[in-house]
Chains A and B, each alone.
Chain A
Amino acid sequence: MIEKNLINAKKNFNYKIASVNIEDKKLLSQLNNFGIKKNSTVKVLGSNYGKKSYLIQIDGINYAIDKSICEKVVLDE
């Protein structure tokens, strides 16, 4: 079964983050500061031209986040 992540998530739906599969510890810590961590509530609002980045709402705040990161954010079904 394909894991649900921020790329294949339904738009404008609230999800809880199950895990963030990033090995780079500094980047992971930075993402945690943005609220990208287990149990945070996220919502995919849209993407840009070429779908290189996604507009993600985390705890009510909008962020533009790279596709390569979005792929690694696993969501609870």
Chain B
Amino acid sequence: MNNIILLGNPNVGKTTLYNTLTKSNEKASNWHGVTVDAKKKSFKINDKEFEVTDLPGLYSVDGYSNEEKIASNFLEKNKDDLIVNICDANNLKRNLELTKQLIDDSYKVVLAVNMVNDFKEFDEQKLSSLLGIPVVGIDARKSKSVEKLKETIYDIYLGKNSKFGKKISKINENIEKIDKFIEALNNSELHKFSKTIDKILLNKVLFLPFFCMLIFLVFYLTFGGFGEWLSGRFTQLVSYAFDFISNFITKLNISEIIKQFMISGVLNSLLTVFSFLPQILLLMLLFNVIEDSGLMSRFAFMFDGFMKKIGLTGKSLFSLMMGYGCTTSAVLTTRNLETQSLRKRTVLILPFSTCSAKLPVFLIISSLFFESYKYLFVLGLYILSILISILCACIYKKKIPDKDQIFILEMPKYRIPYLKKVVKDAISIALEFVYKIGTTVLIFGIVFWLLQNFSYKFEYLNGENYQNSILFIVSNSLSFIFKPIGLDSAGIVSVLLFGLIAKELIVVGLTFVNGVTGAEMLRESLLSSNSVCYFTPISSVVFLAFILLYSPCISALSSIKNEFGSKTALFVFVIQFVISYLVCFVLYNSIKSYNFIIATLVFVLVAIMCYFMVKLLKKKHCGGNCNACKKF
């Protein structure tokens, strides 16, 4: 017996305990269904290796939703493993229902009662004798008594602790005593605190102003005020680092092409995107505070009515919020949605949740013409993406029909966010960002640089005759596509193409095209009409709207392909491109000619044409129930 399964109801702290045991940093938060797949890792107790599996939360061993079924199937296949059943001390009565089922099904169970710190006293011996299994009171967030839990596991491994095998009928005889034990725990101040806050916050009059204020505050702190100050200091540091390293490279006795490659290609790719790290870190930190406080479930509940009108449920909101960090991981969280149709509808609008990789380009371009109210401008972009996603969700609701969704969600207790965990989670996202810079961005940044600096005859262009470069020729031949939306410069087309690989590459591409280094020089060059790539107020708005809405990156598409198949991934790619194109067409033409009516008429005409083209291509079938529809 070296295998351990962490099992329990959703949102009781399984992943937090998993992270503590294995020193991992898997996503854990104060809302239902964060874990959607089984995760395995080994850890040691007294030099003996144990493999621990963290499973999605479940309420009963049968499983009901998709992620519950993953857990119950795993359990079925691994009957002999030791189960560490984690319960929330604040909700012990409901949590013990699963424990009783596990005992009844003859599983070997250790009960880890989490969050015992919320109570003055927790008599684990008493509960252990009532249930007939080992019980350890822990606080997984603060790693309290986790060592004791490890000792218990080790004792069971050595065969020293054999406190198992109490019959369920025997436990049922103790039911009154168990209820009394739980009742004694229920008089917690935490319950009262949560109830009082819910009374105020879930009031229909007060909720919306609170929600709007909170979102405004997040954006103001990230993109205005503090975020801007922080970014300024960090950019200075990065530019010092850039100067220092590039001076060092210049002094090296190597060929000029290699020097240029290392400075403009490698170093520039890395440091330009890196300078946006503080604002990404800050945004993720604030989102983590909201998640950890228990507010997310309240948002899901309050918006459930509205979400149903557009064919989603309150639970879809979790995936959509995760999409603001990274679309790729958000796609996986749709597993906690009840039906395949609902999952598909959620995934189809997920790319509208603006991922953090788009932030650098928003910050650079918005600061060109809208510096003094940058945070309002970026907020406006987010609102635009939300409005378009609502519109699309309404269309998908009709096109991918489904029976009415049933919404049941446990409201977690409000918690003061645990600073260490919130910071750790934000740092983990920041490290992922840095890792992506060091891998995808660096590799494709180099490819971009090579294509831009070499001609078809593989001659080095040395920053001159940009028109002869491979990149320019390819981009120029495609620029006619972007002419109707005013983005027909070959430089802009090339960065949009590379943005399909990873959104971080857009800023890197802009620096390459203009032959500059660092964020500050890039800003100046983008304003100068002498640069290869420059922006006017109109083109900057259209460019940002295009970036906001166009096709997601390769890793997000591959995640969609894995979950829903290549047809859905291809559909997401094409539809996002078409939508962004149409929106930018209206935007560009209405701003340019001040003629919103003509632009909208053209938009409607193109949209109708697209609709009929799709209809012609598709066979007439049932519209939801036949095999062709299901495959879509």
Contact = CB atoms under 8 A, between A and B. Distances in A.
Nearest to B68: A30
B408 A34 contact: yes
Contacts of A27: 64, 406
Interface in A34-77: 34-35, 45-46, 48-53, 55, 59-66, 68-69
Contacts of B304: 48, 52-53, 64
A64 B314 contact: yes
Contacts of A30: 59-60, 64, 408
Contacts of B305: 48-53
A49 to B, nearest CB: 5
Contacts of A55: 198, 202, 301, 411
Interface stretch (B89-97, B213-221, B527-535): B89-97
B191 interface: yes
Q: How large is the interface on A (under 10, 10 to 19, 20 to 34, 35 or more residues)?
A: 20 to 34
Contact of A53 (B93, B94, B199, B314): B314
A65 B198 contact: no
Contacts of B91: 61
B306 A49 contact: yes
Given A46-B202, A53-B301, A63 B62 contact: no
Nearest to B305: A50
Q: Which of A45, A46, A48 has the most CB of B within 10 A?
A: A48
B464 interface: no
B410 A61 contact: yes
B94 A34 contact: yes
Nearest to A63: B410
B407 interface: yes
Interface in B85-124: 91, 93-94, 97-98
A50 B309 contact: yes
A49 B204 contact: yes
Nearest to B188: A60
A26 to B, nearest CB: 6
A76 B139 CA distance: 39
B408 A66 contact: yes
A62 B60 contact: no
A59 B92 CA distance: 11
A59 to B, nearest CB: 6
A77 to B, nearest CB: 25
A69 B304 CA distance: 15
Nearest to A61: B91
Contacts of A63: 408-411
Contact of A49 (B97, B303, B410): B303
B559 interface: no
Q: Is the interface of B mostly helix, strand, loop or mixed?
A: helix
A33 B301 contact: no
A8 interface: no
A51 B297 CA distance: 17
Q: Which of B91, B186, B302, B405 has the most CB of A within 10 A?
A: B302
A29 interface: yes
A59 B301 CA distance: 19
Contacts of A45: 198-199, 202
B206 to A, nearest CB: 12
Contacts of A51: 305
B404 interface: yes
Interface string A1-39: 000000000000000000000000011011101110000
B59 A33 contact: yes
Q: Which of B194, B300, B301, B308 has the most CB of A within 10 A?
A: B301
Interface in B391-436: 404-411
Contacts of B199: 45
Nearest to A30: B64
Nearest to A51: B305
B188 to A, nearest CB: 9
Given A35-B93, A52-B304, A53-B305, A65 B411 contact: no
A38 B524 CA distance: 70
Contact of A64 (B64, B98, B309, B408): B408
Nearest to A49: B305
B306 A64 contact: no
Given A30-B59, A53-B314, A66 B407 contact: yes
Contact of B60 (A29, A46, A69): A29
A11 to B, nearest CB: 11
B393 to A, nearest CB: 16
A65 B408 contact: yes
A55 B98 CA distance: 23
B407 A64 contact: yes
Contact of B409 (A33, A49, A50, A64): A64
Nearest to A54: B301
A26 B302 contact: no
Contacts of B97: 33
A69 B406 CA distance: 8
A48 B204 CA distance: 7
Contacts of A69: 406, 408
A57 B305 CA distance: 19
Interface string B294-330: 0001001111111011000010000000000000000
Q: Which of B202, B297, B300, B309 has the most CB of A within 10 A?
A: B202
Contacts of A26: 62, 64
Nearest to B91: A61
Q: Which of A34, A51, A52 has the most CB of B within 10 A?
A: A52
A34 B98 CA distance: 11
15 contacts: A29-B62, A30-B64, A34-B408, A35-B93, A45-B198, A49-B303, A50-B305, A50-B308, A52-B407, A62-B198, A62-B411, A63-B409, A64-B301, A64-B408, A66-B405
* Closest A-B pairs by Cβ, 6 of them: A50-B305, A52-B305, A64-B301, A62-B411, A33-B59, A66-B407
Interface of A: 26-27, 29-31, 33-35, 45-46, 48-53, 55, 59-66, 68-69
Interface of B: 59-60, 62, 64, 91, 93-94, 97-98, 186, 191, 194-195, 198-199, 202-204, 297, 300-306, 308-309, 314, 404-411
Given A45-B202, A53-B305, A64-B408, 12 more contacts: A27-B64, A29-B62, A33-B59, A45-B198, A46-B203, A49-B302, A49-B305, A50-B305, A50-B308, A52-B308, A55-B301, A64-B297
